[in-house]
Chain A
Amino acid sequence: SQQGEEDPQALSIQEGENATMNCSYKTSINNLQWYRQNSGRGLVHLILIRSNEREKHSGRLRVTLDTSKKSSSLLITASRAADTASYFCATDAGNTDKLIFGTGTRLQVFP
């Protein structure tokens, strides 16, 4: 698979449920970020986790990073209809400053 593969590709849940999205990558990283994109709109930065961190929280978001498995997960707790969006992980690419994005997970939260 390519750098930044995410699963599931699509996820549908009811409001109040938790949503978990996973991201796998192939090369060593310095940090991993999660972005949100509402349909046809821009990318909004959610959270960054560095390679020496294992878990990070921000509000209803919880991100984990397992560098041994080259994977990360994004958990959104107590989801709301307004959380409906696509979620992308993005990794840095070694000594460059570009980001490599994953394929994204489309989250649909039903009221």
Chain B
Amino acid sequence: EPEVTQTPSHQVTQMGQEVILRCVPISNHLYFYWYRQILGQKVEFLVSFYNNEISEKSEIFDDQFSVERPDGSNFTLKIRSTKLEDSAMYFCASSATGPYGYTFGSGTRLTVV
């Protein structure tokens, strides 16, 4: 069964450093998303991406965050200068049909120290 692949599975970074979280969506999907889940809390929407541009972003997705689809297969989330409160599990998802058929990746656990 096709799956969304995220790397790395766990990343530890120092506060103030830049991190790039990588995702390989399902190949024929057109909609891409990032969500995050702070430990013990609910899953929160960060950003959606369609047709090579951001279609929606949450208030969490401030200027420190950016997304890119640098080639035909990868979808990345960059956090420019990490803060302690960025520590969370970050999930990538892709869909062929918008909100009706999401497939989530297994997540990247980001720990900012």
Contacts and interface: CB of A to CB of B under 8 A. Distances in A.
Interface of A: 4, 30-31, 33, 35, 40-45, 48, 88, 90, 92, 96-104
A105 B16 CA distance: 34
Contacts of B91: 42-43
Given A97-B98, A101-B35, 16 more contacts: A31-B100, A33-B102, A40-B89, A44-B104, A88-B43, A96-B48, A96-B56, A96-B99, A97-B50, A97-B55, A98-B56, A98-B58, A99-B35, A99-B99, A101-B44, A104-B42
Given A31-B99, A40-B89, A92-B99, A99 B106 contact: no
B76 interface: no
Contacts of B103: 45
Given A43-B104, A97-B95, A88 B42 contact: yes
Interface residues of B, number: 26
Contacts of B44: 101
Given A97-B56, A97-B95, A41 B106 contact: yes
